[in-house]
Amino acid sequence: MLQVFGVQEGRLTDLSPDPQAPIQTQVPEGAVWIDLNSPKRLEENLVEESLTIDIPTREELAEIEASSRLYQEDGATFMTATLIKRGLDDERPEAAPVTFILRGSQLVTVRYSEPRAFPIFIRRMQKPGQCPTDGEGIFLSLLEAIVDRAADHLEAVGRTIDETSLQVFERSRGRRQRTKPFQELLIKVGEEGDFTSKMRESLMSIGRLVAFFSAVIDQRQEVKEDRVRLKTLQRDIQSLADHSTFLSGKISFLLDAVLGMISIEQNGIIKIFSVAAVVFLPPTLVASIYGMNFQFMPELSLWFGYPLALGLMVLSAVLPYFYFRAKGWL
């Protein structure tokens, strides 16, 4: 899908061509930001011919080498970063590359996913007086929105970890009360750990992009404001990376704690079976003795032989139970 945006009266305006209209040969006049979201080949050709650039393919976007992601060619600056898409709580996060191309005063974005930062940024820039007037300003504002979204994601992870921690270590009247089975908690902790790992990779790629663009900016003698914004972005990215490392440590601790709780639960169950086996073993021995078919067994001829055998079985079961209680094993 091809979306074209211009800036009028300080707000972002949609200049996208009508999908039902004949295919155009030029990008609409006044275009500042061209967003290629899962573009068709005809849409790529339109942008390439209008701006005389070579848009990277989907396979090229997946390259991880810095030379393939960050470079300048034919007067245009190409920068690719990995962004995270995560919607609902039960939706698995997706990491996908997004390319930013600066050509003169125009910005081109190429993506094959829908990170939430993009629609949020578009709605924000459509308010009066919020939108920069050139592609470079939109690019920096979009990067700031992406970093803000990453911060929101990490805050959500922190809240989830705190809630899960309460569920794991919650105590009520001296006994642990679980709101969810430990297996579900284990899956939840694992998902948050996987998402935090993906977020750290995304922040690293964004940090590389910002450092590269900062080097490009340093070659100029103007736009001091852009340098300040880039330094602020770098500090924010570094702080978020440190925070993700802190969250990873908490997740590792919580994962070990959940596994430990599962082991305690399993050990408690095994202990119950072990105690039950020990308690019923002596009565079984007594019953086995009096179940033998020997001819001369004095107790068989006694009128109290049957109550005596029952009493011995009960006593042999009760004595081990109280012994275990005295030792604190129960």
pLDDT tens for 1-33 read 788 888 887 787 877 766 555 555 566 677 888
Tokens of 268: 């408690």
Structural contact between residues 7 and 133, judged by C-beta atoms closer than 8 angstroms:
yes
pLDDT at 172 over 50: no
Tokens of 35: 């967003």
**In the prediction, which pLDDT does 89 show?**
53
More confident residue, 91 or 147: 147
Rounded Cα distance, 251 and 165, in Å:
10
- Domains of the chain, residue spans: 2-265, 269-327
Q: pLDDT tens digits for 134-145? A: 888 888 888 999
**In the prediction, which pLDDT does 235 show?**
92
Rounded Cα distance, 42 and 32, in Å:
20
**In the prediction, which pLDDT does 19 show?**
59
Bridge partners of 186, per DSSP, are none
CATH of domain 2-265: 3.30.460.20
More confident residue, 263 or 155: 155
Tokens of 260: 């430990």
Structural contact between residues 226 and 144, judged by C-beta atoms closer than 8 angstroms:
no
Predicted TM-score of the model (pTM): 0.75
pLDDT at 72 over 80: yes
**In the prediction, which pLDDT does 38 show?**
84
Tokens of 187: 């899956």
Q: Which long-range contacts (CB under 8 A, 24 or more apart) does 20-27 make?
A: 25/49, 26/50, 27/51
For the chain, how big is the Rg over CA atoms in Å?
Answer: 34
Average pLDDT in the 227-245 region?
88
How many residues in total does the chain contain? 330
CATH topology match: 2-265 vs 269-327: no
The domain 269-327 having CATH identifier 1.20.58.340: the answer here is yes
Average pLDDT in the 124-129 region?
82
Percentages of the chain per state (helix, strand, coil), in multiples of 5:
60, 15, 25
b vs e for 284-293, b when ≥16 Cβ sit within 10 Å of the residue's Cβ?
Answer: eebeeeeeee
**Least-confidence region, from 2-16, 191-205, 238-252:** 2-16
